[in-house]
Structure 1
Amino acid sequence: MIAAMLASATLAMAPAAHAAGDAVKGKAVFAQCAACHKADASGKSTIGPNLWKVVGRPAGTQPGFNYSPAMKGAKRAWTEANLDAYLAAPAKAVPGNRMPFAGLKDATARANVIAYLKTLK
């Protein structure tokens, strides 16, 4: 009985990126990101890199964007799990990156943003 309760609690704490998010709600949350990030097929970046087709892309590789050395050296692709970790705490996920954002603490909001980013293809 105790083992079943512990297993249930562990599943409840699983990363939100693995849960299905709501892309429509994610687009609304992304509005705060849009102050610095474009998310369109133009490929043009502003303060931050353009996030069109970001899911699955290697970190620090958007053409024409001047990434920090930390982001250029981040040896990862933007998987759902990596996006979740980065959106939760950018400075912890990629120490030395230049994004001045403390993080999106709400796991459901992160899952929703990731669901929205997955639509950008």
Structure 2
Amino acid sequence: MKKSERFLQLAMAILLGFPLLAHAADAKHGGEVYAEACADCHSVKEGKAKKGPSMFGIVGRQAGTVADFNYSDAMRQSKLSWAPDQLSAFLKAPKQKVPGTKMKLDGDLNDAEIADLIAYLSSLH
């Protein structure tokens, strides 16, 4: 494993509050989680929206700000920044984190899958 990959795993573990020994984030597996749970509604291509906005560059982006995407009022007004901890909380319980969101996923992913997914999304830039 490259030093940069190990650093990303450590950073994700710290940011998400996971003990590193319990689960080191795996971006490759996160791509598989994305394909299974997210790809029907979200694209990873920059500027390409589907039912949901593009996930390209999502980590660190302000929520509700992709141009030309029709967000729910709740998401536009959420004032969230998609830092890993905020993404994790949203993916665990979207309708609790942002009441009124259009997000269909509802607590379907476990903590390890979420950590892997965020590691994958962090690579999209």
> Using CA pairs below 8 Å that are at least 6 residues apart, which structure has the higher relative contact order?
1
- 1:105 shift after superposition: 3.7
Aligned partners of 2:53 and 2:66 also within 8 Å: yes
Aligned identity (percent) is 42
* Structure 1 unaligned residues grouped into runs of 5+: 1-13
1:35 partner SS: coil
Paired with 1:15 and 1:104, the residues of 2 have a C-alpha distance of: 23
Please tell me the residue identity of whatever aligns with 2:16: A
Pick the aligned partner of 2:83 from 79, 94, 119: 79
The number of residue pairs the alignment matches comes to 107
Aligned partners of 1:27 and 1:116 also within 8 Å: yes
2:89 partner SS: helix
Paired with 2:33 and 2:109, the residues of 1 have a C-alpha distance of: 12
Matched residue, 2:66: 62
Q: TM-score, normalised by structure 1?
A: 0.82
Paired with 1:15 and 1:102, the residues of 2 have a C-alpha distance of: 24
Moved >6 Å (runs of 4+): none
Q: TM-score, normalised by structure 2?
A: 0.80
